[in-house]
Amino acid sequence: MPTDVRCLVETDESSAVVRLTGVLDLAGLDAVRGALLARLWQRPGAAIVDLSRVRIADPAARGLLDEVHRAAVDWPAAGLLVCDPAGEPNGGAAVHRSLDSARAALRDAPLAAVLAADLPPVVAAAREARALVTEGCARWGVPELAEPASIAVTEMVNNVVAHAGTPMTVRVAPRDGALHLAVRDHSARRPAYAGLAPVTSTGGRGLLLIDTVARRWGSTPLPDGKVVWCVLHAEDEAGLRN
């Protein structure tokens, strides 16, 4: 996947390895960032970014992988490992000095559980999304999250139908007692949350509902759209029920 004349992002759908080749400088950061985030969404599970064939021309560019890690860390079934012969820590993703070491760490990690559905931008999509998250909550032993997760995913899907009007992918995965939800669409328009709405207002309450049921949420731009995500914790629901 070419991104910039000086730095290429090379991917292989059959492999978790993403190779950067050439020279990474400040001018190429946006293109490489977008390519890496797109790759992390396309293939659930952790990816290994191999830096052994790239020269980082500016020390400030080293923060790119930390930025990508932070942007995607709360997506369902997403993760980032780095192969860097220099062993430079980046403050986020795990760094390995060799590709063999990174691959071994990936093999030793538990296989990511994930459910996903591709949906059209129609009102009925919210019902299918609720069924998906309810199935996931039952399968992964967090039935108490089925109701708040259904609220969140309904609003996320309805926002796509009302404002993006593009096909979407809904993805849900468990991690450490939490449920990670995301909806990916193909519109650059990002959700804007202005806090509590006046009681006399009509509409605009979807993000408030997500903010109410989720511990954290956000949106991440991609080269051809965005990912809107949220994280719900079972312990939060348990506290409300006590």
Residue 60 has pLDDT above 60, yes or no: yes
The pLDDT of residue 197: 47
Residue 195 has pLDDT above 70, yes or no: no
Query: Please, which pLDDT band fits residue 2 given cuts at 50, 70 and 90?
Result: very low
| Cβ 51 vs Cβ 96: under 8 Å | no
Instruction: State whether residue 72 is helix, strand or coil.
Output: helix
The span from the CA of 130 to the CA of 166, in Å, is 19
Residue 105 has pLDDT above 70, yes or no: yes
Mean pLDDT of 131-152: 97
The pLDDT of residue 91: 67
The span from the CA of 76 to the CA of 114, in Å, is 7
Residue 173 has pLDDT above 50, yes or no: yes
Mean pLDDT of 54-63: 88
Q: How much is the pTM?
A: 0.89
Mean pLDDT of 112-138: 97
Residues in the chain: 242
Amino acid symbol at 230: C
| Of residues 185 and 88, more confidently modeled | 185
Query: How does strand 17-24 pair with strand 45-56?
Result: parallel
Mean pLDDT of 195-205: 45
* Residues of the chain above pLDDT 90, percent: 75
| Of residues 88 and 222, more confidently modeled | 222
Mean pLDDT of 202-224: 84
User: Who's near 184: CB < 8 A, 6+ residues apart?
Assistant: 41, 168, 169, 171, 222, 225, 226, 227, 228
Number of helical H runs and strand E runs in the chain: 7, 10
Q: What is the mean pLDDT of the chain?
A: 89
Mean pLDDT of 74-84: 95
Mean pLDDT of 131-147: 97
